[in-house]
Amino acid sequence: MVRPLTDPTSTDLIPTGTPLLEFDRVGLQYQVDGKPRRIIEEISLSIQPSEFVSFVGPSGCGKTSILRMISGLSPAPIGEIRLRGDRIHKPLKNVGIAFQNPVLLPWRNTLNNVLLPLEVVQPYKREFRQKLPQFTQMAQDLLETVGLQDFQKQLPWQLSGGMRQRASLCRALIHQPEILLLDEPFGALDAFTREEMWVMLQNLWMRAKCVGLLITHDLREAVFLSDTVYVMSPRPSSIIHTLQINLPRPRTLDMYLTDEFNHLVADIRRHIHRS
Ligand SMILES: Nc1ncnc2c1ncn2[C@@H]1O[C@H](COP(=O)(O)OP(=O)(O)OP(=O)(O)O)[C@@H](O)[C@H]1O
Ligand SMILES: [Mg+2]
């Protein structure tokens, strides 16, 4: 399995070790009109530290629900998800989350939106005033990585959609989470901007060395960013295909014109259509 690398030019394989996250026969059902409706039949899988994984599958198969279960906002009701061996049963502190809609606070400038998690999440909250210069530097470094160094003082309405999403990714990473949850983060962007965002997200994630967990409907996006792609069946869902993506990192936009890349995308598409 390929892990993000400190040296982005290296393509060494790092052996798999103890998983960071484990899904152990995870299932999900809701009561709809008084009757149980099964959403997820059963999922078991492991995610290694610093692995980037994507989940793709039809609408309603439970992808967003998976992120909610990992975050601990809605712990798995059937089976369990474990973080370093401990069942996730309450909201985790050490996760960063980015959704399709960036939801930046409109009265805060870019820099202060990025700093927000440090103001509200312990242990950073406790030392926020005292360490503000250091935290500001961390935020500025992240903003520089995504090309927003000259937009720190702008308010959200003064940014383009792509810029807002870049700021939101920086905000999701500022407290150095060990898990980054991304729910169709680029779904609202045009195709050209979206492709630029893939490169930026890859850079951010390689720097952060956290687990990346992406939900997307864009199969090329899944292949471009992931070490592993999980294909889900329609509801009641399970994992019907697991694909390892061994393309070297850092990946470039030229790669997705190659036969190798297109074969991987076609393989995922075939499994989705078969389900
Ligand atoms: N709180 C809830 N109560 C009842 N049903 C729910 C609840 N939350 C989600 N569902 C149902 O669970 C199913 C899975 O929802 P989820 O949002 O996880 O799907 P998804 O795979 O993310 O879909 P999409 O690709 O459209 O975003 C849907 O049928 C949805 O209606
Ligand atoms: Mg969803």
The pLDDT, as a whole number, for residue 7 is 38
The pLDDT, as a whole number, for residue 1 is 38
- Of all helices (H) and strands (E), which one includes residue 240? strand 237-244
Tell me how far the alpha carbon of residue 8 lies from the centroid of ligand 1, in angstroms. Answer: 37
Closest ligand by atom to 35 CA: 1
Tell me how far the alpha carbon of residue 233 lies from the centroid of ligand 1, in angstroms. Answer: 14
Total-model pTM: 0.90
The CATH number given to 1-94+217-275 is 3.40.50.300
The pLDDT, as a whole number, for residue 99 is 87
- Grade residue 16 by pLDDT with cuts at 50, 70 and 90: low
Closest among 171, 163, 202, 166 to 97, alpha carbons compared? 171
- Assess contact for 94 and 137: CB atoms under 8 A: no
Beta carbon of 61 within 6 Å of any ligand 1 atom: yes
In sequence order, the 6+-apart residues with CB closer than 8 A to the CB of 150 are none
What is the per-residue pLDDT across 87-127, written as a single tens digit (0 to 9) for each? 999 999 899 999 888 889 999 999 999 999 999 988 899 99
Q: Tell me the C-alpha distance between 252 and 119, whole Å.
A: 35
What is the per-residue pLDDT across 123-165, written as a single tens digit (0 to 9) for each? 899 999 999 999 999 999 999 988 999 999 999 999 999 999 9
What is the per-residue pLDDT across 183-214, written as a single tens digit (0 to 9) for each? 999 988 888 889 999 999 999 999 999 999 99
Q: Tell me the C-alpha distance between 98 and 221, whole Å.
A: 16
Residue with tokens 């601990």: 72
Residue with tokens 């000259």: 150
What is the per-residue pLDDT across 225-236, written as a single tens digit (0 to 9) for each? 999 999 999 999
Give the whole-number percent of the chain exceeding pLDDT 90.
Answer: 83
The pLDDT, as a whole number, for residue 167 is 95
Q: Could you tell me which residues are beta bridge partners of residue 82?
A: 22, 87
